[in-house]
Structure 1
Amino acid sequence: MKNTSYPASYYAATAIPASPRPSLKEAIEADVCIVGAGYTGLSTALFLAEKGFKVAVVEAAKVGFGASGRNGGQIVNSYSRDLDVIEKTVPTDKAALIGSMAFEGGRIIHDLVTRYAIPCDLKNGGVFAAFTQKQMRHLESQQVLWRRYGHDALELLDRNAIRRTVACERYIGGMLDHSGGHIHPLNLALGEAQAIESWGGSIYEHSPATAIEREPRPIVRTPEGSVTADYVVIAGNAYLGNLVPELAAKSMPCGTQVIATEPLAPEVASHLLPQDYCVEDCNYLLDYFRLSADKRLIYGGGVVYGARDPSDIAAIIRPKMLKTFPQLASVRIDYAWTGNFLLTLSRLPQMGRIGSNIYYSQGCSGHGVTFTHVAGKSLAEALSGQAERFDAFASLPHYPFPGGRSLRGPLSALGAAYYSLRDRLGF
C-alpha cells in the first residue's frame, strides 16, 4: 500500500491542526464529484459550494498531500510559458481571455485568505533574478508584455537594487512583481478545505479513485464506496496515475526538491532578504527561495523527470543554496523533501472535457500555485453554464510526449540539459 502520510517537510511539521477526515465507505450522490484534494480540486469545490452545488471530494491520501502541500510556496503570475507564446498558439480572442486571467490567481488567493481568515503566512512581493544581460532583456520584454495585459505592478531592478533586495553577488539585476508573494502552501490547502466544509461540502481522505464509469451519469469508484454525480472533475495532476489513460499520455510527473534550514538569527534573515520577498532566478532549470514565518530559508530547485525520489535531497539542493548564499555554510538543514508537479510537452496547462460531463485540469508545469486557483474558478463557472473562460483554456493544444511513456523522461531530460547548458554559457 502506498504511504499516504504527509512527507516529513517543514510544512507538515508546522501545519494548522486538522481533524482526520473520513474515508468513503458507502455509495453516495452529489452534484459534482472531484478527484483530488489539491489546489485544483479544492478551489473548484469551494467555488461550486459557494454557488450552492453539493460537492464531494475524494482524495487518495490527505488534503494537500501532493504538490499543493509541498511546493516552494511562491505566488508567481502568468503561466509556465508566457503570454507571447500563447498569442502565437491560439486565436486572438482566446489569447485575450487567457491573458486576462494571467494575473488572477494571486488575487483569488488573497481574497480567499481574507474571506476565510486562512492562517497561511501570506506575504507580498516576488523577485525574478537575472544572471545575464540576456535574461535582463527578457525581463524588460516581459514587463512590456504584462503591461499590455494591464499588469502594472512590475519594477525593474538594476545591479544596485537587486543587491538591496537579495544578499547575493551573482545577480546583475531583476524584476520585482509587487503582486507576487509567498505563503505556507499546506496551510492554504487546509484552510480551503475547511472553507468547503463550512458550505456543506464533503471531503473524503484515504479514498483513492480506482475507476470512473463514464456516461450517462458518471460514477467514481473508491475501494469501499462510490460517488454518483452529474459531473466529475479530475484534479489529480501528478498524482493521478493511470486512472485516465488519455490524460496520462499527454503529461509527465516530475520531481522537485526543497530544503529548509534551521531558524536563522534575525540579523542574518534580514540581511539575506531585507524586504522578505520570495525569489526565483531566470534559468531554465531555476532555483527558488524565500524565508518562512519563523525565518528559515526555504530553498528549492532541480527537476527529476519521471518523479523518482532522490536518496539524498539535501546533497542536491544544499550546494545550490551555498552558491547563492555562501554565508550559510555553517547553517543546519532541518528538513528536506521532494514533491511532484505535472509537466506538459508545451509547458502550457491542459483543461478540457471527456464526453459531456467529465472535466479535467492538469499540467501546470511549475506554475501551479496561481494557475490552479484560476482553473478552479473557471471549472466552477463552466459547470454553472458560463464556459467561455474554461473554453479558452481548453483551446490550448494537448500534445502527447514523443516516444510515449517510456521515452518521455529521457527525452525531456536531454532537452533540459541542452537549455541548462545554454544558461551556463550565457546564450
Structure 2
Amino acid sequence: MTHTPYPQSYYAASANPTPARPELLGEVQTDVCIIGAGYTGLSTALFLLEHGFKVVILEAAKVGFGASGRNGGQIVNSYSRDIDSIERSVSPKNAQLLGDMAFEGGSIIRERVKKYGIQCDLKDGGVFAALTAKQMTHLESQKRLWERYGHTQLELLDAKRIREVAATDNYIGGMLDMSGGHIHPLNLALGEATAVESLGGMIYEQSPAIRIERTAAPVVHTPQGHVKAKFVVVAGNAYLGNLLPELAAKSMPCGTQVITTERLSDELAKSLLPQDYCVEDCNYLLDYYRLSGDKRLIFGGGVVYGARDPANIEAIIRPKMLKTFPQLKNVKIDYAWTGNFLLTLSRLPQVGRLGHNIYYSQGCSGHGVTYTHVAGKVLAEALRGQAERFDAFAELPHYPFPGGQVFRVPFTALGAWYYSLRDKLGV
C-alpha cells in the first residue's frame, strides 16, 4: 500500500519523536471505531477511554496529517460565525449551551497539555486586530457579547496599545483575549495520540476507511482489514472524501496557505511581537501570524476554494507578511505549505448521527483548534447517553451548497470576493 508522509511543513520538520504505528491488517473488534486521527478523533478517543470504552482510531495517513497538523496554531474562542448568529437560529436553551461551549475548547487543550505532559510550545494570549473603524466597533460589540456568556478575559486595545503588541502600523486597535493563545499544532496532536495509547486505545495509520457497513453492529473496512464496532465516529473533516456522500454534499474543503521564516534573532522576534501573542486580523479573508517556539514568524492567510494546492504559496503569502512587517524584506522563507479546512454554508459546525450508531462532527470552517476539542467531549457524552449538548449542536440548521458540487466553488468564491471587497472599502 502507498505510504502517505507528512507534508513538508515547519511542523513536520520540528515534530517531537513519535513511534511508527501499524497499518490495520485483518479483523479488530472494539466499542467505538473513530475515523480520523486529528483533533476531533483524538479528543473523542481520550474522553471515551477515560470513561472505560475500548477505542480504535483509523487514520488514512499519519496522526495529525490534515488540518490538525497544518493550521496556524492559534487557540481562538467561539465559532467561525459568532454566538449572536446562533442565538437567531436555535432555541434560547440551546443558544445558552452553545454559547457556553464556545469558550471551553481552550480549557480542554490546557488540561490535556498539563495532564499528559504534552510538549507543544503552549503560550497564552491572542489578539484580534482591527484595520478599520467598522471592525473596531464590531470588536466592542463582540466583547459585550462574550462577556454576556461569562467570558471576561478580554481587553480592548487602542492604537497605542496594539502597537505594543504587534510592531505594525496596519491596525487602529484590537481586542486581547488572554484565554486565547498558540501551540505547535502537530505536537499537540502527537501528544494526544500518545495519551490515547497510554490509556489502551489503538491507532492504525496508513489505514483509510473505504467503506462502512451500516448495520446494527457497523463494520468499517480498510484496504487490508476491518473493524467491527458498536459505534462509529466519523472525524475526517476536510480529508474524509466521499466516504459518506450525505456529509460531503453539505460541506466543501478549502485550502489555506502558511509560510514560516528562517529563525529570527531574539531581538528581531521580540520587536515584532513583544508579548509573544498570536494575532489575526478582522477581515473576512483574514491574515494570522505568531512566533514559533524557536523564534520564526509563522504567517498564514488566503483561501483556495475547492482545496487546490497553489503553485507558489510563498508568492501569495509573502506580500501579506511584508505589508504587515516590511522590516522582514530580507528574511528568508524556510517553509511553505497548504492545508485544508472544511467549510459549511452557515460557517457553523455540523454535528449529528446517521442511523442510531454512526456519529459525526465536521465543518469547523477555519475555527477548528478549539471547537474540535469541545466536539470530542460532546460526542463522547452522547455515546455515554448524555446527549443534551450533542442535541444543541444537532439543532443548528445546515444546507447544501447552491448549485451542488459543480457550482459550489465559483458561488462561494464570488461570495468571498464580495466580502473581501467590503473589507477593502471599509464598508
- Determine the structure 1 residue equivalent to 2:237: 237
- Determine the structure 2 residue equivalent to 1:326: 326
Which residue identity lines up with residue 364 of structure 1 in the other structure?
Answer: C
- Provide the C-alpha distance between the structure 2 equivalents of 1:106 and 1:14, rounded to a whole number of angstroms: 23
- Provide the C-alpha distance between the structure 2 equivalents of 1:21 and 1:387, rounded to a whole number of angstroms: 33
Within the alignment, does 1:144 sit opposite 2:144 as a pair? yes
- Determine the structure 2 residue equivalent to 1:172: 172
- Determine the structure 1 residue equivalent to 2:211: 211
User: 1:89 aligns to what SS in structure 2?
Assistant: coil
- Provide the C-alpha distance between the structure 1 equivalents of 2:404 and 2:49, rounded to a whole number of angstroms: 38
Q: How does 1:262-341 map to 2 (within 5 A)?
A: 262-341=262-341
- Provide the C-alpha distance between the structure 1 equivalents of 2:245 and 2:4, rounded to a whole number of angstroms: 23
Which residue identity lines up with residue 59 of structure 2 in the other structure?
Answer: E
Within the alignment, does 1:42 sit opposite 2:42 as a pair? yes
- Provide the C-alpha distance between the structure 2 equivalents of 1:202 and 1:404, rounded to a whole number of angstroms: 37
Q: How does 1:52-71 map to 2 (within 5 A)?
A: 52-71=52-71
- Determine the structure 1 residue equivalent to 2:27: 27
- Provide the C-alpha distance between the structure 2 equivalents of 1:196 and 1:2, rounded to a whole number of angstroms: 26
- Change beyond 3 A, Cα 1:384–1:291: same
Which residue identity lines up with residue 305 of structure 2 in the other structure?
Answer: Y
Q: How does 1:71-110 map to 2 (within 5 A)?
A: 71-110=71-110
- Provide the C-alpha distance between the structure 2 equivalents of 1:215 and 1:276, rounded to a whole number of angstroms: 51
Tell me by how many angstroms 1:397 deviates.
1.0
Which residue identity lines up with residue 71 of structure 1 in the other structure?
Answer: N
Within the alignment, does 1:182 sit opposite 2:182 as a pair? yes
Which residue identity lines up with residue 287 of structure 1 in the other structure?
Answer: D
Q: How much identity, in percent, do the aligned residues show?
A: 74
- Provide the C-alpha distance between the structure 2 equivalents of 1:305 and 1:270, rounded to a whole number of angstroms: 35
Tell me by how many angstroms 1:4 deviates.
1.5
- Determine the structure 1 residue equivalent to 2:377: 377
Q: TM-score, normalised by structure 1?
A: 0.99
What RMSD, in angstroms, separates the aligned Cα atoms of the two structures?
0.7
Residues 94, 392 of structure 1: 8 Å contact kept: yes
Which residue identity lines up with residue 62 of structure 1 in the other structure?
Answer: K
- Determine the structure 2 residue equivalent to 1:124: 124
Tell me by how many angstroms 1:202 deviates.
0.3
User: 2:20 aligns to what SS in structure 1?
Assistant: coil
- Change beyond 3 A, Cα 1:69–1:109: same
- Change beyond 3 A, Cα 1:24–1:196: same
- Determine the structure 1 residue equivalent to 2:222: 222
Deviations 1:200-243 (A, max 9, x none): 00000000000000021100000010001000000000000000
Residues 28, 226 of structure 1: 8 Å contact kept: yes
- Provide the C-alpha distance between the structure 2 equivalents of 1:340 and 1:322, rounded to a whole number of angstroms: 24
- Provide the C-alpha distance between the structure 1 equivalents of 2:249 and 2:73, rounded to a whole number of angstroms: 28
Q: TM-score, normalised by structure 2?
A: 0.99
Tell me by how many angstroms 1:166 deviates.
0.4
- Determine the structure 1 residue equivalent to 2:153: 153
Deviations 1:87-117 (A, max 9, x none): 0011111111001101000000000000000
Which residue identity lines up with residue 116 of structure 2 in the other structure?
Answer: Y
Q: Figure out how many residues of one structure are paired with residues of the other and give that number.
A: 427
Tell me by how many angstroms 1:2 deviates.
6.8
User: 1:17 aligns to what SS in structure 2?
Assistant: coil
Deviations 1:355-397 (A, max 9, x none): 0000000000000000000000000010011011111011111
- Determine the structure 2 residue equivalent to 1:386: 386
- Provide the C-alpha distance between the structure 2 equivalents of 1:176 and 1:22, rounded to a whole number of angstroms: 43
Within the alignment, does 1:248 sit opposite 2:248 as a pair? yes
- Provide the C-alpha distance between the structure 1 equivalents of 2:313 and 2:106, rounded to a whole number of angstroms: 29
- Provide the C-alpha distance between the structure 1 equivalents of 2:4 and 2:238, rounded to a whole number of angstroms: 15
Tell me by how many angstroms 1:424 deviates.
0.3
User: 2:360 aligns to what SS in structure 1?
Assistant: strand
Within the alignment, does 1:133 sit opposite 2:150 as a pair? no
- Determine the structure 2 residue equivalent to 1:362: 362
Within the alignment, does 1:197 sit opposite 2:183 as a pair? no
Which residue identity lines up with residue 366 of structure 1 in the other structure?
Answer: G
Tell me by how many angstroms 1:398 deviates.
1.7
- Provide the C-alpha distance between the structure 2 equivalents of 1:16 and 1:353, rounded to a whole number of angstroms: 35
Deviations 1:156-176 (A, max 9, x none): 000000001100001000000
Tell me by how many angstroms 1:26 deviates.
1.1
- Provide the C-alpha distance between the structure 1 equivalents of 2:243 and 2:3, rounded to a whole number of angstroms: 18
Residues 260, 336 of structure 2: 8 Å contact kept: yes
Residues 125, 180 of structure 1: 8 Å contact kept: yes
- Provide the C-alpha distance between the structure 2 equivalents of 1:41 and 1:403, rounded to a whole number of angstroms: 31
Residues 3, 206 of structure 2: 8 Å contact kept: no
- Provide the C-alpha distance between the structure 1 equivalents of 2:241 and 2:356, rounded to a whole number of angstroms: 23
- Provide the C-alpha distance between the structure 1 equivalents of 2:411 and 2:209, rounded to a whole number of angstroms: 30
Which residue identity lines up with residue 134 of structure 2 in the other structure?
Answer: K
- Provide the C-alpha distance between the structure 2 equivalents of 1:423 and 1:206, rounded to a whole number of angstroms: 42
- Provide the C-alpha distance between the structure 1 equivalents of 2:194 and 2:225, rounded to a whole number of angstroms: 23
- Provide the C-alpha distance between the structure 2 equivalents of 1:151 and 1:367, rounded to a whole number of angstroms: 18
Residues 215, 355 of structure 1: 8 Å contact kept: no
Deviations 1:95-145 (A, max 9, x none): 110011010000000000000000000000000000000000000000000
